[in-house]
Amino acid sequence: MNKPLIVFVSLLLLPCVALGQGKIASIKKGQVAPFSGILLDKKAEASMAAKREASVKICEMEKKHSIKKAEANCKLSTSKLEILLKANKSKYDQLMKLKVDENKRLRQTIKKLSKPDYSSYWFIGGFVAGVGMSIGIFYAAAQASK
């Protein structure tokens, strides 16, 4: 995450190690050493190794910090979502209770206001009365003709 910072710190500390903490000499092929390179005494090499190890430790610490930060953010987001879910569930339950109560109230009001339907009784009564009158008229006509 902070690689530029680690590189900057390493480069910043490298000259301090080279100048103040031991002897550094350059040798070429053909001299006492059989290869080209830089010669460091034990003090300078130990100082550079310590700086490298410190950079690695810093990197590991930053990595652990980043991981813990990401885990904390994840837990926070999860907690927020759980709270939101509980709130929405509670809201839903309350709205459903209100809806059920309102439906009960409306059904009771409709029952009170609605009149009973007597149309089938009127039909049957009219049919019986019509048949009865027809029989009565037929009987009266039969009696009148005698």
pLDDT, one tens digit per residue, over 56-70 is 999 999 999 999 999
Q: How far is CA 132 from CA 118, 129, 135, 144, 145, in A?
A: 21, 5, 5, 18, 20
Higher pLDDT, 5 or 53: 53
Q: Is the pLDDT of residue 15 over 60?
A: no
Residue 97 CB-density burial (10 A; 0-12 exposed, 13-18 middle, 19+ buried): exposed
Q: What percent of the chain has pLDDT over 70?
A: 77
Query: Do residues 2 and 60 touch, judged by C-beta distance below 8 A?
Result: no
6 Cβ neighbours under 8 A, 6+ residues apart: 55, 58, 59, 62
Tokens at 137, concatenated = 């008229």
Counting other chains too, the contacts that 19-22 makes at CB distance below 8 Å and 24 or more residues apart are: 21/47, 22/47
pLDDT at 79: 97
Tokens at 46, concatenated = 């130990």
Banded pLDDT at 104 (limits 50, 70, 90): very high
**Region 103-127 average pLDDT:** 90
Q: Is the pLDDT of residue 4 over 60?
A: yes
Q: Is the pLDDT of residue 94 over 70?
A: yes
